[in-house]
A and B are shown apart, each in its own frame.
Chain A
Amino acid sequence: GENVEQHPSTLSVQEGDSAVIKCTYSDSASNYFPWYKQELGKRPQLIIDIRSNVGEKKDQRIAVTLNKTAKHFSLHITETQPEDSAVYFCAASKTPPGFGNEKLTFGTGTRLTIIP
């Protein structure tokens, strides 16, 4: 089965600086890579996702890059703000959850703290 490793487990960044979280996956058949953000006491929420036919995707201050050859993908947050403080999870599956019976395999999470 798929195995997703996520690093670092904790990350502290000065406000305004950039943050990068990296994930590697084991199953070369994986094609869908979402990122979830879980604020303290709240539910995980999808913030961005990428499919294997795309190398990079941006949404305002967040971007995700994918290297299928190396089987790793990364979340980049620029100009960090206090509200970016949260736990971030990467995940992988062969297809998006809406197609087929694939389940997401989650990484172990990264606790990001933005220092004012």
Chain B
Amino acid sequence: EADIYQTPRYLVIGTGKKITLECSQTMGHDKMYWYQQDPGMELHLIHYSYGVNSTEKGDLSSESTVSRIRTEHFPLTLESARPSHTSQYLCASSEFGLNYGYTFGSGTRLTVV
């Protein structure tokens, strides 16, 4: 089924560990986005990409990095996790020329202890 998939769904990890949150979409969308969602709900854009080899930082400064080597794959990496990185991370995608909004993934809830 064409959709956007995020793994893992939940992750508990120790401080200082390197982690990669996976996001893949099978819809052939060019545009992809990473949002950090507060416990208080608000969505903060941390990274986006308009296509292969294109990545940009979002409105909220983040210590994470992203890559876009393949259209369908947009992983987010934290080199050294800290408790302040504890949050929900949502991946989304959209497509040039299509007349609807974002499709979101189910999210990764990250807890750094």
| B interface secondary structure, majority | loop
A85 to chain B, nearest CB (A): 14
Are B104 and A98 in contact (CB-based, < 8 A)? no
Are B42 and A97 in contact (CB-based, < 8 A)? no
Are A34 and B101 in contact (CB-based, < 8 A)? yes
Q: How far apart are the CA atoms of A111 and B33 in the complex, in Å?
A: 23
> Which of chain B's residues 6-54 have a Cβ closer than 8 Å to chain A?
31, 33, 40-43, 45, 48, 50
Q: How far apart are the CA atoms of A109 and B41 in the complex, in Å?
A: 6
For the complex, count residues of B whose C-beta is within 8 A of A: 24
When each residue 34-60 of chain A gets 1 if its CB lies under 8 Å from chain B and 0 otherwise, what string results? 101010001111100100000000000
Q: Please judge, given known A-B contacts A46-B102, A98-B96, A98-B99, whether A111 and B41 are in contact too, CB under 8 Å.
A: yes
Within 8 Å by CB of A42, from B42, B48, B97, B106, lies: B106
For the complex, count residues of A whose C-beta is within 8 A of B: 24
Are A97 and B106 in contact (CB-based, < 8 A)? no
Task: Spell out A's residues near B (CB within 8 Å).
Answer: 1, 34, 36, 38, 42-46, 49, 87, 89, 91, 96-99, 101, 103-104, 106, 108-109, 111
Q: Which 7 A-B pairs have the closest CB atoms?
A: A109-B41, A97-B94, A98-B98, A43-B104, A46-B101, A34-B101, A106-B43
